Structure 1
Amino acid sequence: MISVDAFETRAAVLEDRELVEVYLERREAPSIVGNIYLGRVKDILPGMQAAFVDIGVERNAFLYVEEIVFPGKNEDEPMPPIQHLLKPGQDILVQVIKEPMDAKGARVTTQVTLPGRYLVLLPYSDFVGTSRRLPEEERRRLKETCEQIKPRGEGLIARTAAEGADLIDLRADLKRLLLYWRKIGRKVRDAAPVQLIYQEPQLALRIVRDLFSPEFRRLVIDSKEDYDAITDFLGSTDPELAKRVELYSERLPLFDKYNINQDIENAMKRKVWLRSGGYISIDHTEALTAIDVNTGKYVGKTTLEQTIFKTNLEAAGEIVRQLRLRDIGGIIVIDFIDMQDPDNREEVSRVLNEALASDRTKTRVIEISKLGLVEMTRKNVSQGLLEFQAETCPCCHGLGVILSDATIGMQMYRQVKRLAATHISESFVFKVNPRGREFLKQKGKLTGNILDLEWDKKAHLIFDDTVPIGRPEMIDEGTEAQIEQSMSNYY
């Protein structure tokens, strides 16, 4: 399903009518992954064996030494120091492989790749490979074909969509890619750095090029303009698949008709309920994502071990779905409920790995421990669903909790008391946030709007939602008579 509106393009992948992947792209901030830039080296960092490259976006891109291609490079030998390969001010052709995230710039490589419908062209490599999602026999066939048709000194990778493609289809796709690459070469020769050389298509066309294959029953899209672009593209590359593209024109929004909006909303929540009554909770930290499995409402019918085993088994499949749906990357630690039976641990591990086989993103899993912990990594290319749609809470600043009314009331009391103690006046007016007011009233410290400071001074409070919590503002001071008279000006 692809839905396009004035704000963004959204693509959803459903398997057995269940949402498993979501892709989002805002009109004002399209993805830059895959874009090729003629950049300029700004700084060399010998201590990190990396360089900052100006590619013309907000933050300089980051280039690791391992991502640098140079003549005579031998994969079996250690890389030379980056300061021997690059120097500040040097012009360099790079491709973005990872979106800018938080305060970090984009990750780039000089190992440029050009993806087509069936093939990926590697202009600077002699490597030939195939998608790991293809059957073994088909991988052998495609590898032999790629070896046969590839240009000398350049490499090819057969994509998942290449399954069943004949020599004519593969040659036609290669011809298109070589044409693109020659155009890029001409543009680089005529360009002055820093400049965008090649821009990836918009999300709708990328989804079709990279994901839509014969294993999909249909593709539904609600934009006539994108429908035309997609059918034109498939008409020249895969006419049979073009017949599976449908234009949606009903009044009810496409994502509402198939309950996708609700599923996306649920994917923002910390807790995910399992059908049995158990649940998983997903917590993000700076270093990793922690996923915890709990029996919740599920009490089982036989033994405790069986209850735990069934919960873990169900959780394994749901965890993989959530990883794909939320596009969680980096280090992931899964805390399954402790299982005593090693056969049960092995079965849960098997189900987890079997579910991960359907994940297009590269993952690496470490065997389940006796404590039920599974460590894994998942390639992180772009922002996850949560990071893309949310921002840090201005109240808790990402902590996930806020101070209680009691704590805020105590803080307010102490801060006002401290500020009053540093002035010689006998009466004061403070603007404060209303949170904590009820606590102070219950404790007998606040009568009306007057705070009892426990000595011969008075603090008159004006409650204002715009005042930050924990930052009372002294706006007036004087004798009690003066303050009593001036209070009418504040209401």
Structure 2
Amino acid sequence: MRKQILVSQDRRELRAAILEDGRTVEYYTERQATAAQPHVGNIYKGRVANILPGMQAAFVDIGSEKNAFLYLDDALALYAGTPNPERKPQISEVLKEGQEVLVQVVKEPVGTKGARVTANISLPGRHIVLMPNSPYVGVSRRIEHEAERERIRQAAERVRDPEVGIIVRTAAVGVADQALEQDYHFLHGTWQRILRQSKGAKVPELVYRDLDLLSRSVRDFFTEDVEELWIDDLEAFESARDMLRRSSPNLYERVKLYRGRENLFAAHRVDQDLEKALKRKVWLKSGGYLVIDQTEALTVIDVNTGKFVGSSSLEETVFKTNVEATKEITRQLRLRDIGGIIIIDFIDMRDAGHKEQIVEELQKALRRDRTRSHVLGMTQLGLIEMTRKKVRQSLDEVLHRPCPTCDGKGKVLSEETTAARIERELTDYLRGADHEAVLVECHPAVAALLIGQSGQNLRRMEEEWHIKVYIKGKDSLHLAEHRISWAGTVEEVELRALPVQVGQVLSIKIDEPNVHNARDGIARLEGYVLDIQNAGRVVGRQVLVKVTQVNRTYGKGIVIEESV
């Protein structure tokens, strides 16, 4: 499998993507506008704001918009009492309100929730992770060769001080003990500087900012299995090579400066992959497809056969689609960075062996994912339950914002519902009122319903309420938005209601031929219909017209120039 990393720098953001066989599998972005927000790895000197005994947790003020959340298990490093293996202390025994604490962000703010922090500080390097408050040695589970695991473990034991811990990373495979020692001394020196800075720091205050996205990409992603690291910015390119010259000289020549005319991400189809990743439906090569729905509580993935009909039995067709889906689901989880509870609704299978294989295939595919996940198995309904650690905002949360029109629901009131609502509001508004006319502004589609075919509905309303009703369609209003903008004399309302006047000259597009007279054309201005004489031959073109007649629901005009 060919693996590449792309890093693109511009004025607004720094972006990184990981590609496997030419397909985007992971995406990261770092924007100037969010630089001050709590990011994973940042260390703060904070103050305990509230103790929550019922949740065995505390809120910590770290200077961000929302207080950070600290669980008891993440706070035990701050416990000043004597540890008792038979009894875990209460949160009130570990922390007190107003207490100053040194904490690190492990989960970024998402939605209405603040950051999650821990007192178990960790400082990642190229080959090891330093754990100042956890005195033990661990080895990455991705290092499978037992002899190499033991060699690395012994090397880590030799270089560390007894009071600190080390976790050896996958990048340490095959490196000399000296490289681990250099990494350790650098990280230990960084920790000592953090301690010194925290002593004189105000509260709350950021005392350590983790590396930027470029440096993290080199440190965390650029391992032996990566063929190329492409960077489109000269300064960033030189910075990356400088880092590798010291830490991994064997990877130095794999860093490439991109000088193509086309955008780096566009040239490698990353932008196209991201565009697809923002959609609900994901097509499989076989013709099947996934539907992915993210909610605040959980993510649901539905697998469908779609266009794939197979060539043998139904069971075999379903099984092949489900196997293909496991690989694409894993890719989508990584690319969209979906975390939390995930429910996968595979296509129903009768064969118990097939069901077991699907679970195994999913677990196998997830081994490529650097984010920790746990597959709980398949339920009696054929649903697979799993969890994936949520560290930062998902791709959807980073690139999207809740729709201001539907408030994030994805749906708005229909034209019929809005029209009915307007009529009820008008009934209440006009009851007992003494007006000659009233003006309603709404979306053009709703205006068409209120007016009705040939103005029939408008006449019905006027007969019922004994008042002149003017309906004005406005493209700037969304489908459910409307307002009673004026009520008074006919002259007052008409002045505000009609978008054109007799004799006015307009540059306007002819939308369609007149269904009653094909020689004429129909144009629209904010929902107001203009019947343009002899304009049927210029449908779809922008022409210059002169208004010859104005009525409440439509007007008439003539073409005075066909090419504008």
TM-score scaled to structure 1, two decimals? 0.94
**What's the CA shift for 1:243?**
1.7
Query: SS state of the match for residue 33, structure 2?
Result: coil
Aligned counterpart in structure 2 of residue 180 of structure 1, from 179, 190, 195: 190
Q: Distance in 1 between matches of 2:258 and 2:290?
A: 35
Partner of residue 315, structure 1: 325
* Alignment pair present for 1:365 and 2:346: no
Task: Mark the CA change 1:486 to 1:411 in structure 2 (over 3 Å): closer, same or farther.
Answer: closer
Partner of residue 539, structure 2: none
Partner of residue 58, structure 1: 65
Q: Distance in 1 between matches of 2:129 and 2:113?
A: 28
Do 1:330 and 1:379's aligned partners in 2 also have CA atoms closer than 8 Å? yes
**What's the CA shift for 1:465?**
3.8
Query: SS state of the match for residue 367, structure 1?
Result: strand
Task: Mark the CA change 1:75 to 1:337 in structure 2 (over 3 Å): closer, same or farther.
Answer: farther
* Alignment pair present for 1:17 and 2:26: no
Comparing 312-321 with 421-430, greater Cα deviation is found at 421-430
Do 1:407 and 1:436's aligned partners in 2 also have CA atoms closer than 8 Å? no
Map 1:191-230; keep pairs closer than 5 Å.
191-230=201-240
Task: Mark the CA change 1:77 to 1:458 in structure 2 (over 3 Å): closer, same or farther.
Answer: farther
Partner of residue 96, structure 1: 105
* Alignment pair present for 1:40 and 2:47: yes
Partner of residue 552, structure 2: none
Task: Mark the CA change 1:111 to 1:410 in structure 2 (over 3 Å): closer, same or farther.
Answer: same
Aligned counterpart in structure 2 of residue 431 of structure 1, from 419, 424, 441: 441
Q: Distance in 2 between matches of 1:317 and 1:384?
A: 19
Query: SS state of the match for residue 211, structure 2?
Result: coil
Letter in 1 for 2:29: L
Q: Distance in 1 between matches of 2:171 and 2:459?
A: 71
Q: Distance in 2 between matches of 1:304 and 1:486?
A: 66
Q: Distance in 2 between matches of 1:471 and 1:450?
A: 23
Query: SS state of the match for residue 433, structure 2?
Result: coil
**What's the CA shift for 1:439?**
2.5
Comparing 323-332 with 370-379, greater Cα deviation is found at 370-379
Q: Distance in 2 between matches of 1:21 and 1:449?
A: 60
Do 2:127 and 2:180's aligned partners in 1 also have CA atoms closer than 8 Å? yes
Q: Distance in 1 between matches of 2:85 and 2:395?
A: 38
Task: Mark the CA change 1:74 to 1:302 in structure 2 (over 3 Å): closer, same or farther.
Answer: farther
* Alignment pair present for 1:294 and 2:304: yes
Comparing 443-452 with 334-343, greater Cα deviation is found at 443-452
**What's the CA shift for 1:324?**
0.5
Task: Mark the CA change 1:486 to 1:287 in structure 2 (over 3 Å): closer, same or farther.
Answer: closer
The aligned length equals 488
Partner of residue 155, structure 2: 145
* Alignment pair present for 1:395 and 2:395: no
Task: Mark the CA change 1:375 to 1:453 in structure 2 (over 3 Å): closer, same or farther.
Answer: farther
Aligned counterpart in structure 2 of residue 251 of structure 1, from 250, 261, 265: 261
Do 1:39 and 1:53's aligned partners in 2 also have CA atoms closer than 8 Å? yes
* Alignment pair present for 1:3 and 2:13: no
**What's the CA shift for 1:350?**
1.3
**What's the CA shift for 1:230?**
1.1
Cα RMSD of the aligned pairs, angstroms, is 2.0
TM-score scaled to structure 2, two decimals? 0.83
| Superposed CA offset, 1:319-373 (max 9, x none) | 0010001100000000001100011111111111110011000000011234321
Task: Mark the CA change 1:485 to 1:373 in structure 2 (over 3 Å): closer, same or farther.
Answer: closer
Aligned counterpart in structure 2 of residue 163 of structure 1, from 152, 160, 173: 173
**What's the CA shift for 1:470?**
4.4
Task: Mark the CA change 1:306 to 1:450 in structure 2 (over 3 Å): closer, same or farther.
Answer: same
**What's the CA shift for 1:90?**
1.3
| Superposed CA offset, 1:44-93 (max 9, x none) | 22222221111122221111111111346759444322122222221110
Partner of residue 27, structure 1: 32
Q: Distance in 1 between matches of 2:448 and 2:125?
A: 64
| Superposed CA offset, 1:391-415 (max 9, x none) | 1112222212222222222222222
Asked which structure has the greater CA Rg, the reply is: 2
Comparing 454-463 with 106-115, greater Cα deviation is found at 454-463
Do 1:451 and 1:460's aligned partners in 2 also have CA atoms closer than 8 Å? no
* Alignment pair present for 1:407 and 2:417: yes
Identity %: 44
Do 1:49 and 1:81's aligned partners in 2 also have CA atoms closer than 8 Å? yes
Comparing 444-453 with 396-405, greater Cα deviation is found at 444-453
**What's the CA shift for 1:437?**
2.0
Comparing 144-153 with 237-246, greater Cα deviation is found at 144-153
Do 2:436 and 2:490's aligned partners in 1 also have CA atoms closer than 8 Å? no
**What's the CA shift for 1:467?**
4.7
Task: Mark the CA change 1:295 to 1:471 in structure 2 (over 3 Å): closer, same or farther.
Answer: closer
Task: Mark the CA change 1:421 to 1:483 in structure 2 (over 3 Å): closer, same or farther.
Answer: same
| Superposed CA offset, 1:230-286 (max 9, x none) | 111111111111221111112211111111111111111100000110000000112
Partner of residue 395, structure 2: 385
Map 1:345-356; keep pairs closer than 5 Å.
345-356=355-366
Do 1:99 and 1:106's aligned partners in 2 also have CA atoms closer than 8 Å? yes
Partner of residue 84, structure 1: 93
Do 2:439 and 2:497's aligned partners in 1 also have CA atoms closer than 8 Å? no
Q: Distance in 1 between matches of 2:232 and 2:485?
A: 57
Do 1:450 and 1:461's aligned partners in 2 also have CA atoms closer than 8 Å? no
Segments of 5+ residues of structure 2 without an aligned counterpart are 1-5, 499-564
| Superposed CA offset, 1:94-135 (max 9, x none) | 101111111111111111111111011110111211111111
Partner of residue 123, structure 1: 132
Task: Mark the CA change 1:446 to 1:67 in structure 2 (over 3 Å): closer, same or farther.
Answer: farther
Do 1:65 and 1:79's aligned partners in 2 also have CA atoms closer than 8 Å? no
Query: SS state of the match for residue 444, structure 2?
Result: coil
Partner of residue 107, structure 1: 116
